[in-house]
Structures are given as structure tokens and as C-alpha cells.
């Protein structure tokens, strides 16, 4: 069955779906996005994704393309038309189509595109053995809390990681000397004292929906959470490391650059969080 995309009011086979050449998302990266998981017939953490979409739109002063309620109906209908019970739903909202000019256009409605694809949960090998990450300089702009479609620095970092045989890039803020996050995921360690550490919220990272769920579950489970940035050196010396995102769930990290983490296998805190997150997905 051909994949169906929603574009500005119409559901079309993906090969025929198109936006105008003067779409500002295309010309200026003037837009934001969300990636939402649909698991066994239901959206997971949709309220948190909608709240973040609202913050991203506010941050760039882009209008909602329709009411939030209508958007939720479009998401459900796009998934239904694709006939999937498990899906990753991509939502992109841009400042619309207008003759190219840096200034905000007057009266151009926001554009909305929704596409759907099959999710790919971490494989058994990744869960059992973990993945490798490699450090890359964080050269992104100063508002990484906005989920902007302007992802060039993330693309370059991720490509460099892949070329070095790593699954993800861990971005290092070279002024602060700390790991901010991954190119498309949040980064965590369990430090020598057994504390779960991750970069605090703020403009330097994207506040992941998975991050918020994981930190809540960790605290409720008695794990000490310390939202404090860590250096690359601390990461290499950590007992455990892992990453999270909507599309990669909780994925253990067992290698950072040339260093093996802990005993080279996913540790007990990581394994516990994988279990808790899987339970959360079944429950929501």
C-alpha cells in the first residue's frame, strides 16, 4: 500500500504530495517539527508532544496551522489511512508559502505536513550489547530547545558518527566542555557515584519527551537523578551510558569514541529503565 501524507488540507500518496517552491520551511528552515510514536493503536505521550509543539511555535512566532484538537484528528486520520498499528508520525509546521523575503510574510497561513512510517525499535543486539557513540563538536545555534527543522549541524554530526562506525554523535559544547545531547537524542550517564546524570533543560538541548518520561520514572523508582551536565571524560569513566528518543526508545551506549563503558555491557540502571519504558508504552 502506498504511504499517504497529509499536506495542507489534502491526503495524498506520498509520491504526489508536494509543497510550493516558495515554502519557507524549504527556503529558510523556517519551521518546526515533532515525531510522535503510535504504539498498538494509540499515540504515546501525545499531550507532551503537543505541548512542546506549542512551545516551539511560540518560540518562532509561527501560528498553529489549525486548532490543536483538529491537528490531533489529522494525525489519527493520517495513521488510519496508512493502515498501521505501530507508526512514527512526523509533523512539520512552517511559516507558510510566500515570495522569498527574510521578513515574516503577512497573511500567509502556516503549512502543515504529516507523514507516517513504520517505527524501528532498537534491535535485540542493541539492547543486549549497546551501541557506540562518537564525540563531535556542538556547532548548533543557541536555541536548541526549539524543535526547529534547521538540522544541518545535526545532520553533519550524525553522518560523521556513522562514518566512524558509531550509531550516534554525542555533541560537546567546547566552551563549557560538556556533552549537551546527541544529534537526535538525549544523552545520559550513570556516574561513579551511581547518579543518573543528564544535561539540564535550557536553550542548549531539546527537552526530549522521552527524557521527561524517563526522569519521572527513574525518580519514582528510587534512582538518584542529577540534571547536571557531564564532561566527555566523565562519560568515558561512567558506569553506564544510554540515549533516549521517540524513535530509539532507551538505547544502551557501551562505547564512547575508543572507550568501553563500564564492563562493556548495558548496566543495571539502563536495563531497569528499558523495562520501565516498555511498560509505560504498553500502558499509554
Residues that bind ligand PDD (CB under 6 A): 35, 154, 181, 184-186, 206, 208-211, 244-247
CB of 149 vs ligand PDD, minimal distance in Å? 9
* Contact present, 191 and 267 (Cβ < 8 Å): no
CB-nearer residue toward ligand PDD: 98 or 184: 184
Cα–Cα dist 104/81, whole Å:
34
CB-nearer residue toward ligand PDD: 59 or 105: 59
CB of 181 vs ligand PDD, minimal distance in Å? 5
CB-nearer residue toward ligand PDD: 51 or 108: 51
CB of 3 vs ligand PDD, minimal distance in Å? 17
Cα–Cα dist 170/193, whole Å:
22
Which residue of the set 69, 106, 120, 147 is catalytic? 147
Helices 46-60 and 68-82: crossing angle, nearest 10°?
120
Cα–Cα dist 223/269, whole Å:
8
Element (H, E) at 6: strand 4-7
CB-nearer residue toward ligand PDD: 6 or 188: 188
Largest CA distance in the chain: 58
Cα–Cα dist 181/243, whole Å:
9
CB of 103 vs ligand PDD, minimal distance in Å? 28
Active site (annotated) includes residue 69: no
Active site residues: 147
Amino acid at each position: 500500500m502506498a504511504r499517504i501524507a497529509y499536506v495542507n488540507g489534502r491526503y495524498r500518496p506520498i509520491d504526489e504530495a508536494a509543497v510550493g517552491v516558495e515554502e519557507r520551511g524549504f527556503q529558510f528552515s523556517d519551521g518546526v517539527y515533532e515525531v510522535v510514536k503510535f504504539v498498538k493503536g494509540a499515540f504515546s505521550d501525545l499531550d507532551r508532544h503537543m505541548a512542546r509543539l506549542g512551545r516551539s511555535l511560540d518560540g518562532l512566532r509561527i501560528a498553529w496551522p489549525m486548532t490543536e484538537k483538529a491537528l490531533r484528528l489529522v494525525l489519527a486520520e493520517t495513521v488510519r489511512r496508512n493502515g498501521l498499528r505501530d507508526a512514527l508520525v512526523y509533523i512539520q509546521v512552517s511559516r507558510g508559502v510566500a515570495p522569498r523575503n527574510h521578513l515574516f510574510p503577512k497573511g500567509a497561513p502556516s503549512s502543515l505536513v504529516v507523514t507516517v512510517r513504520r517505527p524501528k525499535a532498537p534491535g535485540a543486539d542493541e539492547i543486549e550489547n549497546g551501541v557506540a557513540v562518537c564525540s563531535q563538536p556542538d556547532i548548533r545555534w543557541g536555541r536548541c530547545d526549539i524543535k526547529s527543522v534547521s538540522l544541518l549541524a545535526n545532520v553533519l554530526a550524525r553522518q560523521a558518527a556513522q562514518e566512524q562506525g558509531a550509531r550516534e554523535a554525542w555533541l560537546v559544547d567546547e566552551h563549557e566542555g560538556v556533552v549537551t545531547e546527541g544529534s537526535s537524542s538525549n544523552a545520559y550517564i550513570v556516574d561513579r557515584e551511581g547518579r543518573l546524570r543528564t544535561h539540564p533543560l535550557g536553550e542548549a538541548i531539546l527537552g526530549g519527551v522521552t527524557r521527561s518520561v524517563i526522569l519521572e520514572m527513574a525518580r519514582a523508582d528510587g534512582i538518584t537523578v542529577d540534571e547536571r551536565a557531564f564532561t566527555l571524560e566523565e562519560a568515558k569513566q561512567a558506569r553506564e551510558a544510554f540515549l533516549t528518543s521517540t524513535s530509539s526508545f532507551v538505547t544502551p551506549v557501551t562505547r564512547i569514541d575508543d572507550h568501553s563503558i563500564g564492563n562493556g555491557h548495558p548496566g543495571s540502571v539502563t536495563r531497569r529503565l528499558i523495562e520501565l519504558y516498555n511498560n509505560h508504552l504498553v500502558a499509554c
